[in-house]
Amino acid sequence: MEAADKKHVRAKQWSPEGTEELKQRLRAYEAQQLSSLVQKTPNPDSAGLEEEKKPSKKASVLVLLFQGPQNELRVLLTERSKGLSSHGGEVALPGGKQDESDADEVAAALREAKEEVGLDPTNVEVLTTFEPFLSKHLLLVTPVIGSPIDPESFKRTPNSGEVETIFDAPLEMFLEEEGHRHKDIEMVNFPFRLHYFDYTDGTRQYNIWGLTASILIRIASTVFNREPAFEEFHPTLPSYREILVEMLKRNLFVL
């Protein structure tokens, strides 16, 4: 379906019953292992391919979903401190690199969320994890989807060394044309579509883009069971998974 034919869909209101149904659907979601996808495809002749840097680290982000004041589904976001040497001033999901002490991707996401925004890990109901995304620095980033058990007890406390602001946005906006634009680039010799979303929260304006935008588009599409009102991927690579599979086949990074 062409982008021009896709229609704007009004923000969905979530009843308690609907929210529980959504949680059950997310709990049932099973991320497909990238290694199994690669096993199903033949390895091409890698002669002549340029050797690329392989990631030595993995990371996780927490996608915290909750009901807003009008029963709309919202997601927690941060604006990183402008003085940071990496991604300073950018909008991000709470999260970061996995430490050796982290048991898994979930533990890493919860630890980082506590450090960055003051969220008690025991106050998070973890619903599922999604397939990893690859950052421009070839870092594998796993989204961990969760919901606050007691939203009222969560007092947003930004870590002044890492976080400038904590805010939230409607999840469904990441499926809409309004406020959206894109730019096609190359990432390690693959065509890639970068997405940008403009969002105003009171008097503050935010630009949500890059990896954070890509993750939220995929999660919103799964949650609302529909594709975005714009073309998500570059025409030559119709899915993010295909990009990762191609990179794995060419040994551009390791799991």
The Cα 237–Cα 115 span in angstroms is: 37
pTM of the model: 0.84
**Model confidence band, residue 253 (pLDDT cutoffs 50, 70, 90):** low
How much of the chain, in percent, has pLDDT values that exceed 90? 51
pLDDT of residue 37: 53
Q: What domains can be seen in the chain, in order of their start residue?
A: 13-38+54-249 (3.90.79.10)
Over 50: is that where the pLDDT of 9 sits?
A: no
Tens digits of residue pLDDT in 37-96: 555 444 444 444 444 445 457 899 999 999 998 889 999 999 988 766 565 578 999 999
- The tokens for 252 are 């551009």
By C-alpha distance, which of 22, 135, 8 is closest to 74? 22
Tens digits of residue pLDDT in 220-248: 999 998 999 999 998 887 677 777 777 77
- β-pairing, 124-129 vs 140-148, is antiparallel
Residues paired with 138 in a beta bridge:
none
The Cα 176–Cα 9 span in angstroms is: 8
By C-alpha distance, which of 83, 51, 212, 239 is closest to 135? 212
CB 214 within 8 A of CB 195: yes
Which residue has tokens 């996401």? 109
SS3 144: strand
Residues paired with 65 in a beta bridge:
75
